[in-house]
Amino acid sequence: MPLKVHRDEQPTLNLTPMIDIVFLLIIFFMVSTSFSQMERDIRLQVPQVRSSGPLTPAPEKKVINVYRDGRITLQGQPVTLEELQRRLRQARRQYPDQGVVVRGDAQGAFQRVAEVLEACRQAGLKELAISVQPLRTRR
């Protein structure tokens, strides 16, 4: 049986790559900090305005309800077809991408819904949607 007469080398950990990476990170953070400091030091006078309110968010789609008896409401307020068209034109002037959702009663006449859609088209609205409810199936 052979005997071991020499000693195995102890494993060593080479720290050189780790030290290199640490130095690179230090240099990166030092350089980026100095750039952000230079950006803060730029002398710039921004324009002034009277009102400093937030920018208005994009408007939500307006909801038009067409009831079974032919009544029409815009955002919950009763309107006639002419008034609906006028209000939609006004909304489109303020927000060119204004959209509407038309909700018609399932038991009502489709003619009234078609008239509302035509009023929307004449008002110049391009984003029209019709609200429906998915049919529930029994399993």
In a domain, 5, yes or no: no
Find the domain containing 105 and state its range: 62-130
- State yes or no: pLDDT of 5 exceeds 80: no
Here the CATH number for the domain that contains residue 105 is: 3.30.420.270
In a domain, 39, yes or no: no
In a domain, 46, yes or no: no
Total of domains in the chain: 1
pLDDT tens column, 13-69? 889 999 999 999 999 888 877 665 555 556 666 667 776 555 666 678 999 999 989
In a domain, 12, yes or no: no
Please give the sequence-ordered ranges of beta strands (E in DSSP) within the chain, or none if there are none. 62-66, 72-74, 77-79, 99-104, 127-130
- If one compares 43 and 101, the residue with the highest pLDDT of the two is 101
Q: At what angle do helices 81-94 and 110-122 cross, to 10 degrees?
A: 40
In a domain, 48, yes or no: no
pLDDT tens column, 65-96? 999 898 999 988 999 999 999 999 998 888 88
In a domain, 96, yes or no: yes
Tokens 């002034």: give the residue.
Answer: 48
In a domain, 122, yes or no: yes
In a domain, 7, yes or no: no
CA distances from 74 to 25, 27, 92, 118 (A): 60, 62, 14, 15
